[in-house]
Amino acid sequence: MKPLSEKRILLTGGGGMVGRNLLNAATGLNIDHPSSKELDLTEAATVADYIRDTKPDLVIHAAGKVGGIQANMADPVAFLDQNLAIGRNLIMGAFNAGVPEFLNLGSTCIYPRAAENPLREEMVLTGELEPTNEGYAIAKIAALRLCQYIRRQRADLQYKTLIPCNLYGPHDNFHPQKSHLLPAIIRKVHDAKLSGETKVEIWGDGTARREFMYAGDLAGAVLRAAHDMETLPDLMNTGIGHDRSINDYYQTVADVLGWEGEFTHDLSKPVGMKQKLCATDKADAWGWQASTSLADGIGKTYNFFLENHVS
């Protein structure tokens, strides 16, 4: 295989949080990252032609239709259909064009809703999925299984999948109603600090536990994988290996931002699953660990927020 510096890389999803953090970290590499306007990933023939014409050595697949619970429940057809098409078109387009390496990025939603924590790679398809994002999960499972089937038939091809835990960081979505947990907390605490509010509300009792990794650490894992695809496991969780309570995340954000108010709890609000933690045994054995502490990651994310979202 070619050294990473000589590989022609096709990156999908270059405009998203994962893609943009990867591009920031991948200085000096030959990365083609067409926008959705330049390359419609839902069109099989278009994707096949593009891959055949550009001849990448490695495809990094980070694109997809994403959204929160409400969006998934409102339009499950699109979340299944579009993500299924995108995954299939890219993987089969690369396979048919003879691309030797394909790095597929999955999601922890592929794990059964009732699976015991920590979530291990062999738990895929051992139980029912979470109904609220089942369509998205089915599409992600199909993509990772397709990569595994290709490996069974052609062991010389490196078609593999990383499964990141929840992410946060620069280029995240900080919209008050549409953002995920950590950027939402940053926005709420920032607004409270700015307005002089002394109280911030937390949905539920705050004891539910979540695992969050800084997006720059995932970029590091992707680059390490791109450099060493042959030793990468076929399916590998990419997380930090421990979780924190929602209350802990709120308090850490308050500490980093210097807000000294108090938190209240609205016990009438939904809180979701009590825990979602990835096992990191395979990543540990492969020799990779996330390196950014929660406080440092929140600090970097807050600086990005101040520079890009506060006028």
If we measure between CA atoms, which residue out of 218, 9, 265, 22 comes closest to residue 106?
Answer: 218
- Give the integer Cα–Cα distance in Å for 78 and 80: 5
Instruction: Say whether 214 is catalytic.
Output: no
Question: What are the tokens at 231?
Answer: 């030793």
Question: What are the tokens at 299?
Answer: 């600090």
Q: Which residues of 215-231 are buried (b: 16+ CB within 10 A; e: fewer)?
A: bbbbbbbbbbbbeebee
Among 50, 111, 136, 159, which one carries the catalytic annotation? 136
Secondary structure of residue 103 in the 3-state scheme = strand
- Give the integer Cα–Cα distance in Å for 64 and 86: 7
Distance in Å from the first CA to the final CA of the chain:
48
If we measure between CA atoms, which residue out of 187, 184, 172, 167 comes closest to residue 17?
Answer: 172
The H-or-E segment that residue 257 falls in is helix 246-257
- CA 308-67-63 angle, to 5 degrees, is 80
Q: Do residues 238 and 225 make contact, with C-beta atoms less than 8 angstroms apart?
A: no
- Give the integer Cα–Cα distance in Å for 24 and 82: 27
| Beta strand pairing call for 244-245 and 209-210 | antiparallel
If we measure between CA atoms, which residue out of 165, 129, 126, 125 comes closest to residue 145?
Answer: 125
Which residues touch 141 (CB under 8 Å, ≥6 apart)?
Answer: 110, 124, 125
Active site residues: 136
